[in-house]
Structure formats: C-alpha cells, structure tokens
Amino acid sequence: MPSTELPLPSGSPATDFAVVLLAELERAGVRDIVLSPGSRSQALALAAAEFERAGRLRLHVRLDERSSGFLALGLAVEQGLPAAVVTTSGTAVANLHPAVLEAHHSGVPMILLTADRPPELRGIGANQTTHQSALFGESLRLLRDVDAPGDSRVDGAVVRELVREAMSAALGRSSSPDEPATPGPVQLNIAFREPLSAKATSLPARADETEGAGSGGPAPWHPAASMTPPLALEVDVDPATVVVAGHGAGPDAEETAHLLGAPLVAEVSSGARFGRNLAPAYRELLDAPEFGGRVRRAIVFGHPTLTRQVPALLKRADVEVIVVRGPVPEAYDPSHGATVVEAVQVEASERSSDLAHREWVGTWVQTGRELVGDDDEAAPDLDAATSDDPAVRAAFLRGEVDVIRRPVTRRSLVEALWRATWPHDRLVLGASRLIREADVFVPGKKIAVHANRGLAGIDGTIATATGIGLASQAGGVGGGRLGWADGARGVTRVLVGDLTLLHDAGSLLFGEGEAKPRIQVIVGNDGGGTIFDGLEVAQVAPADAMRRVQSTPQPISFEHLAAAYGWEYVRAATRGELEQALVGSPGPVLVEVPLG
C-alpha cells in the first residue's frame, strides 16, 4: 500500500497535514475542492493548488464563501459524491451556513474543511476567532474538532480513518440497519498553528487503482436500498388513490402510480414528471370535489413545496397518507399522522389496469389537459399551413411571423425553456414565481430538473447551477441520486427571476484559469418580487409599502452586469428572439427576458 507520509517534512506541520488530508480525500473518492482564500486556511489552499497542478483534483476558487458552499452543493447533486469546501476562520465559516442548511434539508453530501485557531487562541478575543464547532448545530451529520498538527510526522492511518468516517457520514451510510440513509454536510474543523504553510517537497503517491476511488472508493450517492422490508401496497378495490411526487421524488413515484392505477401529481422538479398517469393542472383537480374530493389514499414521495393543495389534501381526516421517506432528515408529514416508510412495493394485481382504474386515471389526465389548454396566442393552425389556397397559406405565414414577434409571457418563457431542454441537458429552476409557472404549464418530459427546495430559498442558485454544469460536462459518474442521463455534451440552463439572480450575482465570477461551464442563465425580469402578488399581503398592504418592502424592484442593467463578469449578454424581448437565444451560444451567457 502506498505510504501517505511525506517523504520529507516540509517544515510546516500545517502543510504536511494538509497534503496528507487531501491525498486521503482523493483516495476516498473526492474529485473537487472548492475554496475561498484566507490566511488560516493557506496550507489547505496551497496543497489544493499542488493537487490541481498534478491533475489529481479539480480546484474551484470563489471569493465568497456563500458561492463556494452552493457550488459544492451543485457538484454533489450531479456527481452523487461530496465536494470538499475549504475556508479560513471566523465569518468565512458562518457564510457557509445557507448552503449547509440546504444540504441538510435536501440530503446532499458535503465535506467542510474549516480552518481554525488553535485552542490557546480561542476564548481570549483573538482576531477572526469564534466558536466554529458550534455554528451549524443539528445540520451536520458529523463534526470533528481536529487538533492542530504537531511537529511529528503525520500519521497517515489516523488521517485515513478521519476521512473514512467523514465520507461515510456525508453519504449517509450508517452502521445500523435500522437507521435511514440521510446524506448531508460534515465539518472537519481543523486547527492550525504557525508556520501556517511551507512549500511541500512532494505529494504522496496516488492510490493504486485497485484501492483508490476508481474501484475501492465509495459508490456515488443513490437512494439506498431499504434495510427494512418495503411496505406492501395493494391496488384499491374502488379507485381512490393518488401518488404525490414532490421535489426529488425520482422515477419510483411514476412507477408506483402506474402499478397502482393511480393519477400522478408530480411537481416540476420531482424527477417524476412523465408517464401515462401524469395529471396536468393538478391544483385545480385537487380542489374539485369530483377529483380531489374522492381521494382516500395518498402515497407521497419527495418533498412537495409548490402548492397549498397538496398539504391540504394530506391533512384531511378521510385520507390515508403513506410517506416514502427519502434521503433527508425529516419526512414530509403535514398531517403529523402519516405512515412513514423507507420504501413501498406494489403487490401484483390485474386490478390496476381494469376499467374502473383506467377511467379514474383517464379522467384526471384528460380533464387536466383541458384545464391547461394551449397557449392560444402561439398555437399554429396546421390545416392552414397545408391548405391548397395560396391566400390561406400566406395568411398562416403572416400569423407565424406575428407570433414570433410577440412579447414573451411567463407561460411562453417556461414552455420555450422546457422544449429546448433534452435528457443530456440540465435545467435549474430558481425559487421565484417562474418555477410555479413551470409547474402549472409544462407537460411531462423525462429530463433532469433541479431546484434548491430543501428550504426553498433564493440563495445560491447561480452557484448551484454552476456546480451542476461543471460536474455534468466533466463526465464520469454523473446522474446524482435520480440517475440522470450523461450530461457531458449538454447545456445547463438556469431560470431565475431578477431578484434571485441579483441575490447570487457574485457567483457569476469564475476562478482565473478555470474551466467554465456551458451555462445559460435566463432571467425573467418583471421588475421585482412579483411572487408576492399572489399572496394575501398584496390584498392588504398599501401599494407604496408593498413596492418598498416586498416587491423591492431594482434598477439594474443586466447587460452591464454580464459585461462586468465577462459573460455574453442577449436580450430576448420576443418569442422568436428567445427561441434563438436558447439554441444559440452555450455560454456562459446571460439571457434577459423582459416580462410585463
């Protein structure tokens, strides 16, 4: 087995330890290091630069720790393996908190390498020193406060065990068969004494392929096979079951709906928005007595966040609720009385395809399609296109030209983006009004859709999408827990509102000399937080106060913002311009779409 001790000490215990730690992370399967610069973390940062130079790790440098945290989140979502995040001490660590919370609630693996002052500098008012090991509370799967490296040679076996423990915890792999797999963030809070760095004389040998990440490292994070028997579900005699697929539900929800002969209520980022049982316009259907009113059993996958109808259904006393727990710490149970299980298995039955069940599903699907309808302004008259009358054909062509010159609506924006995205692409939806528009209007399609819905905040959307884009085009494992198609040739498209983009504008900045993702950021600019227009506050707040403290419009030039960060810029004010932009430059490009 190759030694993990440095052949020659560097003169800095901090550097010696940092080099061995990164070598063990590489051995354990980590591919990416994301860091923000700082003094106390310099040994880790300089070691990371050496590993990048040797082609052994991919290094991503970001000025803002918030961007670093969400970039690591996106890398892990795509790869199914944690990235390591390096920060210096003090407020730098606190800036990781939004990403840590999202990783915790979404069940995404992450390893934090936070540099700290040694014990003698803590609790005495030393500069840039706080209680770093108490910052993240219950959000961590594992916390280790690592003593400052001493003058003796680094014990590779000790570091290897530390990394093994960290990787297992980040990936949610418990030694107990009764504990559910809940991937999430891990913190190694590492004290460093001066001298904080020195030039490393050499790097430890790369692990042999038979014992390194290539074969002996951890498998990517996927939904863990349940250690307990799945709950057996029977097809109901009188059809009254629906399957609800919230964010991150995955294809199991679609398969379960099919086997049960049940309508599928699938949110746009569920990973289950496809298949013959998919019910469009499910909000209206759940509100209708002849549809939602007849439901007596709901099988829930993932984390529903986009409607009020779903939690209202699950709270009803006459509805049996079965929640299939995902790789997250909290099962979605607004009723406080659901049956929570690790997996379900549908008993074989011919009943799911009998006439009654086909009618039950068919009425949901057909009525939903009728409720959604077509975007009348854009629907082409195909009969006119093939008419024998030249005047009719000419009128059709004039109409088509008129359509592409029309302004973009929210509906036409989400539908155009949906049409342009294919299985090898990645689509990221920010927490704005537009994700709800997509959830209402886009049809079924088996594509990779991601959104930060753990806490449904607007934080870090651009950084997360950048991580997804970089990891997908790097190839390799890919697919995350939902098994998406290989994205090496695809484009990552990000749909955000204007405020969501501005909140994470700093993540438009890439590290010098780093690879850039093929990424299109499409910003629907409607002049502020119009998502509040649909809430009760819009009916009671004075118009000037509503604008000042809720909508908060910002007079920003997105063209100048793009130029400042070195991005291409396109303004797509019409439907034709939008279609061209989406199939045009793979980016990095910022596409501004004015919305009324």
- Contact assessment for residue 589 and residue 418, using Cβ atoms and an 8 Å cutoff: no
The answer to whether the beta carbons of residues 254 and 264 sit under 8 Å apart is yes
User: How many Å apart are CA 505 and CA 509, to the nearest integer?
Assistant: 8
Q: Whole-angstrom Cα distance, residue 172 to residue 181?
A: 5
More confident residue, 595 or 173: 595
57, 89, 121 from 125: Cα distances, Å: 36, 14, 8
* Burial environment of residue 426 by CB neighbours within 10 A (0 to 12, 13 to 18, 19 or more): buried
Looking at the fold, whether 274 and 129 belong to one and the same domain comes out as: no
- Backbone torsions φ then ψ of 485, nearest 5 degrees: -70, 155
The C-alpha atoms of residue 382 and residue 96 are separated, in whole angstroms, by 53
- pLDDT exceeds cutoff 60 at 378: no
Q: CA nearest 496: which of 439, 579, 429?
A: 429
DSSP string, 170-234: HTT--S-TTSPP---EEEEEEE--SS-----S-PPPPPPTTTSTTTTSPPPP-PPPPSSPPEEEP
Structure tokens at 357: 């069940």
Q: Lay out the sheet containing 185-191: strands in order across.
A: 58-61, 32-35, 84-87, 110-116, 185-191, 142-146
C-alpha 534/C-alpha 27 separation (Å) is 51
For residues 114 and 36, give the distance between their C-alpha atoms in angstroms, rounded to a whole number. Answer: 11
Q: What mean pLDDT do residues 192-221 have?
A: 66
CB count within 10 Å of CB 579 equals: 17
**For residue 36, is it within any domain?**
yes
Same domain, 165 and 241: no
Q: Are residues 168 and 308 in the same domain?
A: no
Using one digit for the tens of pLDDT, what is the confidence trace for 120-135? Answer: 767 777 777 788 888 9
What pLDDT shows up at residue 393?
Answer: 65
Residue 385 lies in a domain: no
**Distance (Å, rounded) from C-alpha 528 to C-alpha 551?**
5
**In this structure, what DSSP letter does residue 477 have?**
S
Q: pLDDT at residue 1 above 50?
A: no
pLDDT at 205: 82
Q: Tell me what percent of the residues of the chain surpass a pLDDT of 90.
A: 69
Which CATH number is 470's domain given? 3.40.50.970
What integer pLDDT is reported at residue 553 of this predicted model?
83
Residue with tokens 């590492």: 190
Residue 391 lies in a domain: no
Closest CA to 126 of 81, 175, 90, 75: 90
Q: Is the pLDDT of residue 501 over 80?
A: yes
- Dist. CA 124–CA 313, nearest whole Å: 55
Domain presence at residue 259: yes
Q: Indicate the range of 289-293, 323-327, 484-488 predicted with least confidence.
A: 484-488
Among residues 372, 390, 415, the one where a domain terminates is 372
Rounded-to-5 percentages of helix, strand, coil across the chain: 40, 15, 45
Q: Is the pLDDT assigned to residue 5 strictly greater than 80?
A: no
Whether cis (ω within 30° of 0) applies to the bond prior to 588 is yes
The torsion defined by the Cα of 210, 211, 216 and 218, in degrees rounded to 10, comes to -150
| Number of domains within the chain | 3
Assigned domain for 277 exists: yes
Which pLDDT score, from 0 to 100, does residue 8 have? 47
Query: In this prediction, what percent of the chain has a pLDDT beyond 70?
Result: 88
Residue 175: the pLDDT is 59
Residue 468 lies inside a defined structural domain of this protein: yes
Whole-number Cα distances in Å, 288 to 241, 285, 293, 309, 525: 15, 5, 6, 11, 34
Specify whether 149 is located in the same domain as 245. Answer: no
Which residues does residue 538 pair with via DSSP β-bridges, in sequence order?
A: none
Residues contacting residue 511 through CB under 8 Å, at least 6 positions apart:
59, 60, 61, 62
Residues 415 and 298 grouped into a single domain: no
User: Do 263 and 145 belong to one domain?
Assistant: no
**Are 239 and 118 in the same domain?**
no
Kindly report the backbone phi and psi dihedral angles of residue 90, in degrees, each rounded to the nearest multiple of 5, phi listed first: 85, -140
In a domain, 496, yes or no: yes
Mean pLDDT to the nearest integer, 361-378: 87
Quick check: 220 and 366 in contact, CB under 8 A? no
Q: Where are any strands of DSSP class E within 41-141?
A: 58-61, 84-87, 110-116
Q: What is the mean pLDDT of residues 244-261?
A: 96
From 437, 434, 430, select the one nearest 451 (Cα to Cα). Answer: 430
- The residue out of 191, 223, 253 marking a domain boundary is 191
Q: Which residue has the tokens 């209202």?
A: 312
Is 151 a domain residue? Answer: yes
Q: Rounded to an integer, what distance in angstroms lies between the CA atom of residue 199 and that of residue 202?
A: 9
Q: Cβ distance 322 to 230 under 8 Å?
A: no
Of 324, 329, 328, 327, whose CA–CA distance to 341 is shortest? 324
Pair (156, 292) in one structural domain: no
Residues 71 and 163 in one domain: yes
Report the CATH number that the domain containing residue 348 is assigned in CATH.
3.40.50.1220
Q: Specify whether 560 is located in the same domain as 456.
A: yes
Same domain, 245 and 357: yes
Domain boundary among 162, 191, 220: 191
Range of the domain at 439: 407-594
Task: Indicate the pLDDT class of residue 292, thresholds 50, 70 and 90.
Answer: very high
pLDDT in tens, 522-571: 999 988 877 777 777 778 888 888 787 887 888 899 999 999 999 999 99
For 305-321, write each residue's pLDDT tens digit.
999 999 999 999 999 99
Give the model confidence (pLDDT) of 31-71 as tens digits: 999 999 999 999 999 999 999 999 999 999 999 999 999 99
| 18 and 164 inside one domain | yes
Residue that wins the pLDDT comparison between 596 and 587: 587
Mean pLDDT of the chain: 88
Instruction: Examine the pLDDT at 482 and tell me if it is beyond 50.
Output: yes
CB-based contacts of 298: which residues, under 8 Å, 6+ apart? 241, 242, 243, 244, 313, 314, 319, 320, 321, 322
